[in-house]
Structure 1
Amino acid sequence: MSVFPVFPLSCAVQQYAWGKMGSSSEVAQLLASSDPLARISEDKPYAEPILSAGKMKGNGPAEKRGSGGSKEGEGSLGSSDPSEAPATTPGYFLVAAVIVVWRVWAGDSNELAEKLHLQAPQHYPDANHKPEMAIALTPFQGLCGFRPVEEIVTFLKKVPEFQFLVGDNAATQLKQSMNRDSQAVASALQNCFSHLMKSEKKVVVEQLNLLVKRISQQVAAGNNVEDIYGELLLQLHQQYPGDIGCFAIYFLNLLTLKPGEAMFLGANVPHAYLKGDCVECMACSDNTVRAGLTPKFIDVPTLCEMLNYTPSTSKDRIFLPTRSQEDPYLSIYDPPVPDFTIMKMEVPGSMTEYKVLALDSASILLMVHGTVTASTPTAQTTIHLQRGGVLFIGANESVSLKLTEPKDLLIFRACCLL
C-alpha cells in the first residue's frame, strides 16, 4: 500500500483542432482556475485534459502533483488492479470542450481490438475495447447510433444528394426492409451506409457542394431548412469541406443533452460529438475507428463491417443516472461494462462539510465548481482543491471535503465498481 493513498494530480491539456478556442473552452477555464501559473492563449484550441489513475499510452498522462512523474499511488488500486480487471481503473477520465466538430467514429469490441492491434498496431495501439460515456456540463450536441429506418427513408426523399450517394438499389432495399424482421433491417442499413461511405471522393464533393448551394439559397430566401438539418450541415461543411462525414447526420440520431444527461457509447456504436462541454470517461484504450470529420487516419472498410446496425430512437440513446440510497447528493452513472462508473456529486453551498465515500477501487475526483480543503483519516495534511482541481483517491480511502466558501459544489468521480 502506498504511503500516499490520496494526492492531487497535474494533468496535461490536449490542444486538438476540434477544441474550443481560448477562454471560451471549459477546459481552458478549469486549467486557469486550478493553476495560477497557467496562461490561456485565445488563439489556440483547448480540447481535453487526460486524467488516469493507472497506465497510460503517453497522451498527456496525469502525474502526482509535484512528483515529476512519480508512480506513487499505483499500489492503491484495490480490486481494480490491472491484474484483476480488464483495464486499469478508471481508464481515461476527462473533460471535453467541443466546437463543431469532432469525428464520426466508433469504439471497437475486445475481439476486434485484438485483431486490429495485431494487423495494424500503428493505427490501433491497444488490444482492449473502448466503451465510453459523455455527461453534459452544458447543452451538448452529438450523434449517436443509427436512426429509426423511417427517419432515414424520409431524408432519402427530401435530400436527393443523399439519395444519389446511397444509390437507388440500396435505398429501395431499406424502404422494403421496414416491413420485415430486424435482420433484414440491419442488412439493408449496412448496405446503405456502406454505399455512402465507399463513394468516390470526387462524387461526394460534387453532391455535397450541390446540397450546400441549395441549402444556402433556401436560407438566404428565408426558408426553413430544419427538416433536413440545413444549418447543421452548413456548419459541418464549413469545418470539413467536402467530407463524407457531413452526410452522417442523415443516418445517425442527433442528441441534444441537457446538463447532467449522458450518452453511453458501447462497442461498435457510431457517434460524433458536435458541440458543447462534457465530462467523459472511457476504457483504457487508444483505439478509434474513424470514417470522417477528422484529419486523422480513416478506416472506412473496418468501420462499415464492425458497426451495430440496430436502429433506435434518440430518446433511447439518452443515459440517465440513478440516485444513491446512501447519499442524497450523489448520482451514479453505471454503464453495462465493467471498465468504469462515474459519480456526480452536487453539494449545496449551505453545507460546511461533505464526506466522499470509500470504495474498493482507485478513483479520480474532479472539481468542476467549488472550493474545498480535502483531508483523510490517515493523512496529517490537507489538500486545497478548487475549480479544475483533480484528486487521486486510493482504494478504501474516504475523504472529507470542507467547504471554504458558501458556493455549491459540482464534483465528478470516476471509479470501477466490480
Structure 2
Amino acid sequence: MNVSISCEKTTKLTLKAAFSAIINANKDLITKSLSQLILRLKSSQQERSLTQRELLILRLAEQYPNDVGIFSALFLNYIRLEPGQALYLSANEPHAYLLGECIECMAASDNVVRAGLTPKYIDTKTLCDMLTYNQGMPEILSGINLNAYTKRYSPPFDEFEMESCMLPIGQRMRLSSIEGPSILIVLGGSGTLHERDGNAQSLQFGDTVFLSAGTEYDVITNPASKGNLQFYRAGVNSRVLLMD
C-alpha cells in the first residue's frame, strides 16, 4: 500500500466534504455565520493587526454581502501578482480575480461553472463535483525575454502561450514568424503594424488583430503616441508547433 497516495486521497475527500458543506449550506446559515465571522474580525481588529487573509474577508464582505463565496478565502491560496508576473491554472481548479487588471487566456471550453462572488448564474453542486481538490501553491511565471521589449509566458499546456510587449515611443521591432495563427490586442499607446508585403495597419488602444501563421510583422510605435505601445500576443503553445 502506498501510504502517501492513501493520505493524499483522504485529504482530498476531507477537503471536498468541508468545502461542499459550506458552499451548499442554506442561506440563513450562511448569513448568520458570515455575520459572526465579520463581527469577530472587526472586534479583533481593535486589539491586533489582522492578517492579509482576514483583511481580504472583510473587503469581500463589503463588496459581496452575505455571499457564500467569501468563505472560499479560507480554502484557496491568496496570491498577489506583481506587474510582469503570471500564473497558470489546470482545468477544474477554482479561482477568483479580486482586484486589479490582468490578461486572461483560456483553452477552448463550453462552460464556466461559478459558485460565488458573482452576479452570474451559480451552480454549486456541479462545481463541488468537478474540482480536483489538489493542494499547494501554483507556479508563478516571470516570463522569458525574447528581446529588449518582449517576454513570453509558456504554461505546460498545448493550447496556448502569451507574449507581452512594451515598445517605447520611436522604437520598432519585428514580430517573428510562427507556425500557427495568433491574436494581438493593444492595451496602451499607438503604432503601426507592417506586413512584409507592404500592407500596414494602425494600432490603437483596444484594437485586436488576427496574425496569420508563417508571417513576419514589423511594429512601430507612433512618435505622437501618448505612451509606450503595449500589446499582448496569444497563440498555440510553440512547443506544439515545433513537434515533428
Calculate the TM-score normalised by the size of structure 2: 0.85
Higher strand share: 1
1:30 maps to which residue? Answer: none
Look up the equivalent residue of 2:10 and give its one-letter code.
A
2:60 maps to which residue? Answer: 236
Question: Match for 1:346 among 166, 181, 187?
Answer: 166
1:172-213 Cα distance to aligned partner (Å, 9 max, x none): xxxxx99x7222221221122122222222111101011112
Question: Shift of the alpha carbon at 1:402?
Answer: 2.2
> 1:257 aligns to what SS in structure 2?
coil
1:336-391 Cα distance to aligned partner (Å, 9 max, x none): 2222111112334463x211111122211122233222211224x42221333322
1:334 maps to which residue? Answer: 154
2:49 maps to which residue? Answer: 224
Calculate the TM-score normalised by the size of structure 1: 0.52
Give, in whole Å, the separation in 2 of the partners of 1:373 and 1:297: 41
Question: Shift of the alpha carbon at 1:328?
Answer: 4.4
1:93-141 Cα distance to aligned partner (Å, 9 max, x none): xxxxxxxxxxxxxxxxxxxxxxxxxxxxxxxxxxxxxxxxxxxxxxxxx
Look up the equivalent residue of 1:360 and give its one-letter code.
E
- CA distance 1:278–1:312, change in 2 (3 Å): same
Look up the equivalent residue of 2:102 and give its one-letter code.
C
Q: Structure 2, unaligned stretches of length 5 or more? A: none
1:359 maps to which residue? Answer: 178
Contact 2:151–2:165 (CA<8 Å) still a contact in 1? Answer: yes
Number of equivalences: 233
1:206 maps to which residue? Answer: 32
1:372 maps to which residue? Answer: 191
1:321 maps to which residue? Answer: 143
Question: Shift of the alpha carbon at 1:256?
Answer: 0.2
1:188 maps to which residue? Answer: 14
- CA distance 1:402–1:294, change in 2 (3 Å): closer
1:48-80 Cα distance to aligned partner (Å, 9 max, x none): xxxxxxxxxxxxxxxxxxxxxxxxxxxxxxxxx
**Over aligned residues, Cα RMSD in angstroms?**
2.3
Structure 1 residue 390 and structure 2 residue 208: aligned?
yes
Q: Percent identity over the alignment?
A: 33
Q: Structure 1 stretches (4+) deviating beyond 4 angstroms?
A: none
Contact 2:170–2:222 (CA<8 Å) still a contact in 1? Answer: no
Give, in whole Å, the separation in 2 of the partners of 1:236 and 1:317: 25
Give, in whole Å, the separation in 2 of the partners of 1:230 and 1:186: 24
Give, in whole Å, the separation in 1 of the partners of 2:141 and 2:121: 30
Give, in whole Å, the separation in 1 of the partners of 2:139 and 2:17: 23
Give, in whole Å, the separation in 1 of the partners of 2:142 and 2:181: 24
Give, in whole Å, the separation in 2 of the partners of 1:293 and 1:398: 43
Q: Structure 1, unaligned stretches of length 5 or more? A: 1-176
Look up the equivalent residue of 1:184 and give its one-letter code.
T
> 1:359 aligns to what SS in structure 2?
coil
1:380-416 Cα distance to aligned partner (Å, 9 max, x none): x422213333222111121111232285433210111
> 1:267 aligns to what SS in structure 2?
coil
